[in-house]
Amino acid sequence: MKNIIIRNSNRFKSVFAQVNLLLPLTAEDMSKNALLAMMLKKSNSKYKTERELERKLAELYNTSFGAGVGKVANMYDITFGIEILNVKYTGKEALDEAVDILCTAICEPNFVDGKFDEKTFELEKSSLLERIAEEKDNKKKYALDSLEREMFKGTDYGYPLYGTAEDVVKITNEELVKHYYDVISKAEVVVATVGNLENMDGLAETIHTRICGKCGKHTVEFTPLVEQAINKEIETKVEEQDINQSIICIGARIKDVKTEDVYKARLFDNILGGTPAAKLFQNVREKESLAYFAKSMYNMFTASVCMFAGIAPEKYEKAKEVMLKQLEDIKSGKVSDIEFNAAKENLISAYKEKQDSKGGQAKGLFSNEIYFGRTVDFDEMIEEISKLTLDDVVEIANRVVVTNIFLLGGKADV
Amino acid sequence: MFKVETNLKTGEEIYKKVLSNGLKVYICKKPGYIKKVGMYGTVYGSIDNDFIDITTGERLKVEDGIAHFLEHKLFEQEDANALDVFAKMGVSSNAYTSFDHTVYFYETSSKHKECLNKLLEFVNTPYFTDENVEKEKGIIAQELKMYEDEPSSVAYYNVLRAMYKKFPLNVDIGGTVESVYRIDKEALYSCYNTFYNPANMFVIVIGDVDEVETVKQIESFFNKNVNRKTATVERFILEEPKEIAEKRIEKKLDVYMPYICMGFKHEKQDGKTNARNTVIMEIIDDVCFSALSDFHERMFNSKIITEPVEITYESGKEFSHTILFAVSKKHEECEKEIKTYFEELRQNGVDKELFEIAKKKKQGELIYDAENFMEIHRTVIDSIIQDTDVFEMANAIKDITKEDVDNFIRENLREDNMVISKVREKKK
C-alpha cells in the first residue's frame, strides 16, 4: 500500500490535501477518537481558538480546513483535509502557511501544562454529546446507521461511530491527552494531494515527512472484510418514531467474499438500486408508487448491501415484499439487457467523472490503497467493470443473504 | 453569440446567444473536465399559479404544486420514461422545481451530443394521461411526507408563511397532498403550453465543449422539431402588503434539536440591487455569524450553539427577504441573544478589520466558484430570472464598502419586519 498519493491536473485551480490517520478499530476508543478529531480541528499551539484559526484561513484566500472520522472495516480513520488555491493565485508564503496549519493541528495540540485547554475540552465534549443526541433527527441516515449496528451487533464495527453518550461523559482531559499520544504512536499516516499542483512540487511528501516526524511510520494490520458469522434467520427491529414517513432498510451480507468480488458486487448493487433504471426504483417507486426514494448501497469493506425506501407506514409489508422480490429476481437471472447495460454504463461513467472531483479522487484512491493493498486507478476499475457479464452478477447475487430488517417509524407486525 | 465579459481573473469563459425563437443559450466552458452537463429550464415555478393561458387567452388560476407535478410528469413519454432512457445510456439525469424556475438536466462523460438532443426532445414532448397523472400522486405524496419530517424544511416553509400574507411563497413548492390530488391532465397541459415556450426558456451547457458547435446543435434541433407558439407570458402577481403575515409560527416534531428560522421581509428590488444585496449578506454572514466572528465564539462558549448561525439573502423578480438559520437546545436564549445582537449591529455597525478579512475571503471564493462545476449554473439562472449580467454579483464584491453593509443592516434587518419560525421537540 502506498502512503503518498498524488494526482495533478491543471483543470483545477486549487489543491485538496488529505491526511488520514489509520488506527485499529476498537469500540472503547470510538468516542475518544471522535473527541480528539474535534479538539485538533478547532485549536492548536499556534491558533489557540477557532476564531483565530478561521480568521487566518480566511486571510489565506478562503483556505478551508476540516477534520472527520470514519470506520473502514477493522480500522478507524481520522481524516484531516485542507483545500488551498494554487500558488499562482496566492503566492508561496500562503501555501506554506496553509500547510503549517494542517501539520500543526495534528502534531502540536494546544496543551496547557500537559493537558488540553480545559475550556475547549469541556465545550467540545458538550458538542459531541449534542451531535450524538441529534443523530436521530436525520431520519434516513439514522435508519441506515441503525441497520448497520444491528447487522454487526456485538462487534467493534457495530459500535456507533462516535461511541455513546455514556462513553463521552466518562472521558477526562488527562485520558484524552494519553489517547492523543497513543494515536500518534501507532497511527499509519497516508497523505493524498489532488488538484493543480503546478509549482507545488513535493507537497504531499513535505506533509507526510512532517507528520511522520511526530508520529513515526507505522503500519496498521488491515483485514479487508469484517469476519462475522452470517445469521440464519432474518432479524427484524422496529423503532417507533412519531413521523409521517417510515423508512424501511433491508440489510444483506455476501458469503465467501474475496477481494476481487468487489466489481461484481458493485455492478450487482447498481442493478438492484443504483440508478433510476434499477429494479428498486422501477418497481418500488414507478410501478407500485410506494416510495419517493428506493435505493441500495454496497459497502466494500464489510461486503454488505442495504436496500432502503421511504414509505407510508401502512405499506410496510407490501414494500418489504416488493423489495425482496427484486433481489430474488436478480438471483434467478431475471435481469434484462437494458437493466444490465444501464447499470454497467452508469458505473463506468461514475468512475470517469470522479476525476473531475479533487475530494472524490482523494477518497476513492485512498480507499483503493487500503482495500486492494496497492494502487488501483479509476482506469483499472473501468476495465474490470467492462469485462463483467450477467453470469458474474447472478453468481454473486446467489451469495447474498438477507440478515436484518430495520424499520424506522412504525406499522410493522413484529 | 457573444462572450460574456468579465474583469475577474478567474478564468471563467461564458458564451451567450439568444435564438430567433427567444430561447436563451449559455455555454460555460470548463477546459479539461471530463463531465458535461446539459440543462434545459423554464422561468416557471411554484409562485406562478395565476396567468393567461396561452392557448385560450383566458386567465387561469391553478392548484398549488402544479409546477413541481409537471416536472415529475415531463419525464414520462408515450413509449418510455426519459429517466430510464438516460439511465440506459449510463447517464444520470434529474430535475428540480424552485419558486420561480424549473430545470431538467443530465450529467455525462461521453454522450453529450446525444444527451443534449434527448433532453431537448423529452422536455418538448409532454405526454399526460389520466392514468399516468393518477399514478404520480402517490409518489409526490411520499415526497411531501419526507419533507414534513425534516425540521429544517418545516422551519423554512413556516418562516415564509410568517412573512408573506398573499404572495405564493407561503405555500410549499410541492403543494399539499390535498392540492396534488386535485391536479388533472388538462391543467398540466395549460401550464405546459404557457410556460414551456422557448421565449420563456433557457439552455445551459457546462463542460469542455465547443460553443459554436453546441449552439448550432441547439438551433438545428429547434428549427427541425419545435414549432410551438412563442410569446411573453402574462402572470398575475398578488400585491403583497409591506407588513408581515404573523410574528411567530411554532411546530413540534419528534426531534432532539430545535430549529430556528428568523425572517426579515423586504420590498421587491431590481436585479442589480438583489445581486449586490446577496453579496452584502454573504459578507454579513462571514463577519457577524461565522466562526470568524466574536458572536459565534461567545455563543459557542456559552453552550447556546454548537454550529454557526447562518444568514442568507433570497430574491426573485417579485420578492426579497433575508433568512437566518440556527439550531439550539436553548432556543429561547438563542433567539434573545440574536435579537440583542441585531440591535447592537444596527447601532454600531460591523467590525472594520473583520470586514476587510471577509473581502479577501470572497476573492478566494470567486476562484473556487470558477472551479466548482455546478456553481456557475446558479449564477446564470439568477441572471436570467432577474435580468442582470452573469457576473453581476462577482463584480459587486470589490465596490462594496463597510458603510454599505452597515446601512443594509440598519435599514433592512429591523424588529418590525422580522418574523420567527421554530421547530421544537415534542415532549414525550
Count up the domains in chain A and report the number: 2
Structural domain includes residue A156 = yes
Query: Which domain range does residue A75 map to?
Result: 4-215
User: Within a domain: residue A221?
Assistant: no
Last residue of one domain, picked from the residues A162, A180, A215: A215
Instruction: Identify whether residues A175 and A42 lie together within a single domain.
Output: yes
Same domain, A242 and A177: no
Q: Are residues A110 and A201 in the same domain?
A: yes
A193 & A263 share domain: no
Both A239 and A116 in one domain: the answer is no
* Residue whose grid cell is 475547549: A120
- Residue A59: list chain B partners with CB under 8 A: 357, 360-361
Ranges in chain A, pLDDT < 70: 224-227, 410-414
Which CATH number does the domain housing residue A117 bear?
A: 3.30.830.10
pLDDT mean values, one per 10 residues, chain B (428 residues): 74 90 94 94 96 93 96 87 84 94 94 95 93 89 87 96 96 94 95 94 96 96 82 90 96 94 96 96 97 96 96 96 97 98 98 95 90 86 93 89 98 97 89
Same-domain status, A93 and A152? yes
Beta bridge mates, B94: B105
- A259 and A121 housed in the same domain: no
Q: Does B101 touch chain A (CB under 8 A)?
A: no
Is residue A224 domain-resident? no
Q: Give yes or no for a contact between A274 and A296, defined as CB atoms under 8 angstroms apart.
A: yes
Question: What confidence score (pLDDT) does residue B76 get?
Answer: 85
Residues A209 and A284 in one domain: no
Which candidate from A14, A244, A355 shows the least CB-CB separation from B371?
A: A14
In sequence order, what DSSP letters do the residues of B297-354 get, joined into one string? HHHHHTTS-SS--EEEEEE-SS-EEEEEEEE-SSHHHHHHHHHHHHHHHHHH---HHH
CA B259 to chain centre: 21
Q: Say if residue A197 is in the same domain as residue A275.
A: no
CA B206 vs. chain centroid, Å, equals 18
pLDDT of residue A173: 98
B chain contacts of residue A290, beta-carbon cutoff 8 Å: 138, 142
Structural domains of chain B, ranges and CATH numbers in brackets: 2-225 (3.30.830.10), 248-425 (3.30.830.10)
Whether A344 and A391 share a structural domain: yes
Residue B135 in contact with partner chain A when CB distance is under 8 A: yes
**SS3 at position B45:** coil
For residue A13, give the nearest of B151, B286, B370 by CB distance.
B370
pLDDT at B124 (0 to 100):
93
Minimum-distance CB partner of A127 among B34, B90, B306: B306
User: Hey, is A76 helix, strand or coil?
Assistant: strand
β-sheet with A4-8: strand ranges across: A4-8, A188-195, A14-24, A75-85, A64-72
What is the C-alpha to C-alpha distance for residues A81 and A17, in angstroms, rounded to an integer? Answer: 6
* Overall size of chain A counted in residues: 414
Residue A225 covered by a domain: no
To the nearest whole Å, the CA of A59 is away from the closest chain B CA by: 6
Helix, strand and coil percent figures for chain A, each rounded to 5: 50, 20, 30
Residue with cell 414494500: A319
Report yes or no: B370 at the A interface, CB cutoff 8 Å: yes
Does the residue A94 lie in any domain? Answer: yes
Q: How far apart are CA B313 and CA B322, in angstroms?
A: 4
Residue A252 included in any domain: yes
Residue listed under C-alpha cell 423508512: A247
pLDDT tens for A57-114 read 999 999 999 999 999 989 999 999 999 999 999 999 999 999 999 999 999 999 999 9
Residue A229 lies in a domain: no
Q: Mark whether A74 and A169 lie in a shared domain.
A: yes
Residue A230 in any domain: the answer is no
A195 with A62, same domain? yes
Whole-number Å distance between alpha carbons of A94 and B337: 36
